[in-house]
């Protein structure tokens, strides 16, 4: 019996060490998987923002063309039909809010800066300036997400300035 107890002790110790090692491995794998899922969710949300901003820019360009065709090419004395409806950009705003929900606390301040810049784009008086600012916006957003942004503050300032029409030739 004494030899059985002596042989059981090291086997139990080896079993416990294996169990602990297995649990640590599972915990590490779980944490890595969770981090990858979170990164993928932020990347997907960023992609949705880029697509919605692109759709907004296309709609805004069509709006500008239709507006010019409706009002500018008509004689002064001819009655004017109701103008085209200006795109709202609400879909992109919603996508930005979803992006804010998916990011970690440390990144939310950056997404709030993007939301503020997008608000400037939506408030732009000129459709052409809004389209140009949307282009700067997508560049800044993709640069931030890929880590290629040199100075995000300057890029978002460029979005705001362009949306305000400061650099506009019109």
Average pLDDT over residues 19-36: 94
**Helix, coil or strand: residue 149:** coil
Average pLDDT over residues 161-165: 90
For the stretch 52-102, pLDDT in tens is: 999 999 999 999 988 887 766 667 777 777 778 899 999 999 999 999 999
Whole-structure pTM value: 0.81
For the stretch 97-156, pLDDT in tens is: 999 999 999 899 999 999 999 999 999 999 999 999 999 999 999 999 998 977 899 999
Q: Write out the two tokens for 55.
A: 């759709």
CB atoms within 10 A of CB 57: 23
């Amino acid at each position: 019996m004494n030899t059985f107890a002596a042989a059981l002790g090291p086997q139990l110790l080896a079993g416990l060490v294996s169990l602990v090692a297995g649990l640590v491995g599972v915990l590490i794998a779980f944490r890595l998987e969770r981090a990858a899922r979170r990164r993928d969710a932020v990347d997907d949300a960023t992609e949705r923002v880029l697509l919605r901003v692109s759709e907004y820019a296309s709609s805004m360009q069509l709006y500008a063309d239709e507006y010019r065709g409706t009002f500018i090419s008509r004689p002064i004395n001819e009655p004017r039909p109701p103008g085209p409806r200006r795109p709202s950009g609400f879909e992109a705003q919603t996508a930005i809010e979803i992006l804010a929900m998916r990011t970690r606390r440390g990144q939310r301040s950056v997404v709030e800066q993007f939301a503020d810049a997008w608000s400037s784009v939506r408030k732009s008086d000129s459709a052409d300036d809004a389209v140009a600012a949307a282009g700067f916006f997508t560049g800044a957003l993709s640069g931030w997400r890929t880590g290629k942004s040199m100075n995000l503050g300057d890029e978002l300032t460029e979005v705001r300035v362009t949306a305000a029409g400061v650099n506009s030739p019109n």
